[in-house]
């Protein structure tokens, strides 16, 4: 495929607010996971973002107020991202910049709160509950476009935990077909009762901070986060001076194995197809990849499946790790948060080893890192796999 550039980027998660904070957390190996105290629940550890409750949306956009849109707004205000989009809009025109975002639950917390406050006699929800501006899956791109004053097309991708990774694929189509000149791509997912209790009911939540790839891993830690990237054609404008190039988007692979509603194919066949397709679109060989950011949720089945798939495609030489020990599993936002981690890896040559690991699973064949490694790399793969057998692999390259 024709390479595209990420000319601006931002992210917020439990690991920190903004790229510099995320970089510092990776370098110091400081996890953002804490014992769960959200909504009175005690379900293992969570990756909770500080300050969401106190954050206020602009008065003109108050109808969109919900935890998910607050997270998105907090991210938009970081790393000079909104200013970079404004510069791009002045060059292309606001109507030529689209928004493609991923989310798995959107503002469902608002609906949960409304249901808890419903009228016991009539069943009516509170009069101030605005479903279309909060819970609705289309709320997020509408909010982002309004906050950035953009007039291009909008799309929500709700594809489980691969949502914001899959958003890059749709954004690329829009640019390639000429529908847009640039796209704000990313996503947000926030803590809510449904995901915390739902994953706990499946027996997938670890009692302590998640330990991806560990021999004694016990499950996931749910996190929340948001992030965005400005994607545009390489050389279309002087992006290096206008906003700086974070990374180049070189290839993608997507598949759906449909093995089970909530369990991955243990042979990792769909995951392997996605990784191989990403390599082919990027015109790269397996040995060209310097680091793989694993989906690595910390569950027994997911991590074993991904190891099988990675070993099938890459063998045992390419270093890989999961960074969910820093952020928790941010669900539909994990793709964009980990895209920003990929950009840090490419810029800094910092390969982050898995956190909280005592001993890498001895059955694994891939080269999983359990400590940080300093190494310059030119190409990074980022994996995201979700319920229903959805798989997405992205490849990013260093800025020229």
Angle of helix 67-76 relative to helix 81-92, nearest 10 degrees?
80
Residue 177 shares a structural domain with residue 320: no
Q: Name, in order, each residue with C-beta under 8 angstroms of 182's C-beta and a sequence gap of 6 or more.
A: 88, 92, 96, 97, 98, 175, 230, 231, 232, 233, 236
> What pLDDT is recorded for position 98?
98
Residue 210 shares a structural domain with residue 112: yes
pLDDT at 30 over 70: yes
Contact 252, 394 (CB under 8 A): yes
| From 161, 192, 213, 354, the catalytic residue | 161
Confidence category of residue 265, pLDDT binned at 50, 70, 90: confident
Residue 197 shares a structural domain with residue 280: no
pLDDT tens sequence across 31-76: 999 999 999 898 899 999 999 999 999 999 999 999 999 999 999 9
Q: Name, in order, each residue with C-beta under 8 angstroms of 121's C-beta and a sequence gap of 6 or more.
A: none
pLDDT at 244 over 80: no
**Any bridge partners for residue 380, and if so which?**
291, 396
Residue 217 shares a structural domain with residue 363: no
> Active site includes 295?
yes
**How many domains, in total, are found in the chain?**
2
pLDDT tens sequence across 178-214: 999 999 999 999 999 999 999 999 899 999 999 999 9
> What pLDDT is recorded for position 386?
85
| From 36, 213, 295, 392, the catalytic residue | 295
Residue 52's alpha-carbon distances to 56, 75, 188, 190, 259, in angstroms, are 9, 11, 13, 10, 37
**Last residue of a domain, which of 224, 242, 260?**
242
Residue 297 shares a structural domain with residue 347: yes
User: What is the phi/psi pair of residue 196, to 5°?
Assistant: -60, -50
Q: Residue written as tokens 């390639």? A: 176
| SS3 state at 188 | strand
Average pLDDT over every residue of 274-295 = 98
> Active site includes 36?
no
**Last residue of a domain, which of 242, 260, 287?**
242
> What pLDDT is recorded for position 238?
74
pTM of the model: 0.96
| From 66, 180, 320, 329, the catalytic residue | 329
Residue 238 shares a structural domain with residue 140: yes
């Amino acid at each position: 495929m024709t390479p595209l550039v990420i000319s601006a980027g931002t992210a917020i998660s439990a690991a920190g607010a903004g790229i510099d904070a995320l970089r510092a957390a990776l370098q110091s190996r400081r996890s953002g996971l804490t014992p769960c105290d959200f909504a009175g629940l005690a379900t293992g550890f969570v990756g909770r973002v500080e300050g969401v409750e106190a954050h206020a949306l602009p008065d003109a956009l108050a109808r969109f107020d919900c935890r998910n849109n607050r997270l998105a707004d907090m991210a938009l205000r970081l790393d000079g991202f909104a200013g970079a989009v404004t510069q791009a809009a002045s060059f292309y025109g606001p109507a030529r910049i689209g928004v493609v975002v991923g989310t798995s639950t959107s503002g469902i917390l608002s609906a949960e709160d409304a249901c808890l406050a419903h009228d016991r006699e009539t069943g009516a929800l509170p009069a101030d509950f605005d479903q279309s501006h909060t819970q609705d899956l289309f709320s997020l791109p509408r909010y982002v476009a309004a906050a950035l004053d953009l007039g291009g097309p909008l799309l929500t991708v709700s594809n489980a935990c691969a949502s914001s990774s899959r958003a890059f694929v749709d954004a690329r189509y829009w640019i390639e077909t000429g529908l847009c000149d640039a796209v704000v791509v990313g996503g947000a997912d926030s803590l809510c009762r449904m995901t915390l209790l739902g994953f706990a009911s499946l027996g997938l939540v670890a009692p302590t901070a998640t330990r991806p790839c560990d021999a004694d891993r016990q499950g996931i830690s749910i996190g929340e986060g948001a992030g965005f990237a400005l994607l545009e054609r390489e050389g279309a404008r002087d992006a290096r001076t206008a906003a700086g190039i974070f990374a180049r988007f070189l290839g993608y692979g997507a598949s759906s194995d449909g093995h089970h509603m909530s369990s991955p194919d243990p042979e990792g066949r769909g995951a392997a197809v996605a990784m191989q397709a990403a390599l082919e679109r990027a015109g790269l060989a397996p040995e060209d990849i310097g680091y793989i950011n694993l989906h690595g949720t910390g569950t027994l089945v997911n991590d074993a499946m991904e190891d099988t798939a990675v070993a099938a495609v890459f063998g045992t030489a390419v270093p890989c790790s999961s960074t969910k020990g820093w952020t928790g599993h941010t669900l539909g936002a994990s793709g964009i948060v980990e895209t920003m981690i990929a950009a840090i890896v490419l810029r800094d040559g910092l390969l982050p080893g898995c956190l909280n690991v005592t001993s890498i699973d001895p059955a694994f064949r891939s080269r999983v890192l359990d400590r940080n490694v300093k190494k310059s790399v030119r190409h990074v793969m980022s994996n995201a796999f979700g319920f229903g057998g959805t798989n997405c692999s992205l490849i990013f390259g260093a800025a020229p």
